[in-house]
């Protein structure tokens, strides 16, 4: 799996683009990338993940459930977008299996970003109010 990742400017959002089949080794590499960023921030760090070029997932649900994106206290929302019917079906199963309110899926990047912006605005209003 090839991944591209970077922080979005002026936002506590880490962007990932997944290409090909994701494996446990790939998941661990992403966790290693995230850990220092999570340790350095005082706020929640959200993840925006483009799965439009993802072919599949070669990671069992047990490992996914234990992944940093579902367990670290500083992870905010994990927002995925794109992908075909098979990827969407897999993500639906994952969301139910993890029982995580952090995971959301959208058809387009625009919808995913809109959701993240609303979520962050609501979080700022709650913390300052």
Q: SS in 3 state form for 36-68?
A: HHHHHCCCCEEEEEEEEEEEEEECCHHHHHCCH
Each domain of the chain, given as residue ranges in start order, spans: 2-128
CATH 3.30.750.24 fits 2-128, yes or no: yes
Model pTM score = 0.81
Would you state the pLDDT for residue 12? 86
Report how far residue 104's alpha carbon sits from residue 102's, in angstroms, rounded to the nearest whole number. Answer: 7
Which has the closest alpha carbon to 119: 25, 19, 43, 64? 43
Q: Is the per-residue pLDDT at 79 higher than 60?
A: yes
pLDDT band at 28 (very low <50, low <70, confident <90, very high): confident
């Amino acid at each position: 799996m090839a991944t591209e990742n970077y922080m979005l400017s002026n936002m506590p959002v880490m962007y990932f683009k997944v290409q090909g089949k994701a494996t446990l080794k790939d998941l661990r590499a992403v966790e290693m990338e995230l850990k220092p960023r999570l340790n350095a921030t005082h706020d929640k760090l959200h993840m925006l993940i483009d799965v439009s070029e993802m072919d599949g997932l070669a990671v069992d649900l047990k490992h996914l459930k234990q992944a940093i994106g579902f367990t670290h206290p500083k992870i905010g929302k994990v927002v995925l977008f794109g992908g075909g019917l098979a990827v969407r079906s897999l993500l639906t199963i994952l969301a139910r299996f993890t029982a995580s309110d952090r995971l959301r899926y959208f058809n387009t990047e625009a919808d995913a970003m809109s959701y993240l912006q609303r979520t962050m605005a609501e979080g700022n209003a709650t913390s300052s109010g």
